[in-house]
Amino acid sequence: MPYFDHSATTPLHPNVERIMGEVSRLNFGNPSSIYSSGRKSKSIIESTRRIIAEAIGAEKEEIFFTGSGTESNNMVLWSLIFGEKKHVITSAIEHPAILKVIDSLASFNIESSILPVDSNGLVNPADLKSAIKPSTGLISIMTVNNEVGTIQPIEELTKISKEENIPFHSDTVQAFGKMQLSVNTLGAEYLSFSAHKFYGPKGIGFLYKKKGLKLNPLIIGGGQETSLRAGTENISGIAGLGEAAKQISKKLDERIKHLSQLESFFVSKINNQFPNAIYNGHPKHHVPGLISLSFPGHPSEIVLAKLDRKGIELSSGSACGSGIIKPSPVLKQMGIPDEQNLSTLRVSFGRNNTKDEIEILVNELDNIING
- 150-167 pLDDT, tens digit per residue, is 999 999 999 999 999 999
User: Considering only CA atoms, which of 203, 155, 179, 156 is closest in space to residue 290?
Assistant: 179
| Low pLDDT (below 70) residues in the chain | 317-325
Residues 11 and 350: their CA atoms lie apart, in Å, by: 9
Please give the Cα distance from 286 to 143 (Å, whole number). 10
Query: What is the model's pLDDT at position 324?
Result: 60
What's the whole-number average pLDDT of the chain?
Answer: 96
Helix (H) / strand (E) element for 106: namely none
Instruction: Respond yes or no: is residue 167 known to be catalytic.
Output: no
Fold exhibited by the domain 252-370? Aspartate Aminotransferase, domain 1 (3.90.1150)
Domain 14-250, classified CATH 3.40.50.980, yes or no: no
Torsion of Cα atoms, 210 then 254 then 236 then 175, to 10°: 40
- Per the CB < 8 A criterion, the answer to whether 177 and 53 are in contact is no
- Using one digit for the tens of pLDDT, what is the confidence trace for 330-355? 999 999 999 999 999 999 999 999 99
Q: Judge whether 157 and 138 are in contact, CB under 8 Å.
A: no
State the catalytic residue, choosing from 106, 213, 302, 320: 320
Which pLDDT score, from 0 to 100, does residue 94 have?
Answer: 98
Q: Which one-letter amino acid corresponds to residue 53? A: A
Q: What is the pLDDT at residue 371?
A: 76
Kindly list the domain boundaries of the chain, sorted by start residue: 14-250, 252-370
d(CA 262, CA 288): 9
What is the rounded CA–CA span in Å between residue 250 and residue 129?
Answer: 37
In single-letter form, the type of residue at position 187 comes to G
pLDDT digits (tens, 9 = 90+) for 35-77: 999 999 999 999 999 999 999 999 999 999 999 999 999 999 9
What's residue 318's pLDDT?
Answer: 52
pLDDT at 326: 81
pTM of the model: 0.96
E strands, the chain, are 63-66, 87-91, 111-115, 136-140, 168-171, 190-194, 205-209, 278-280, 290-294, 344-348
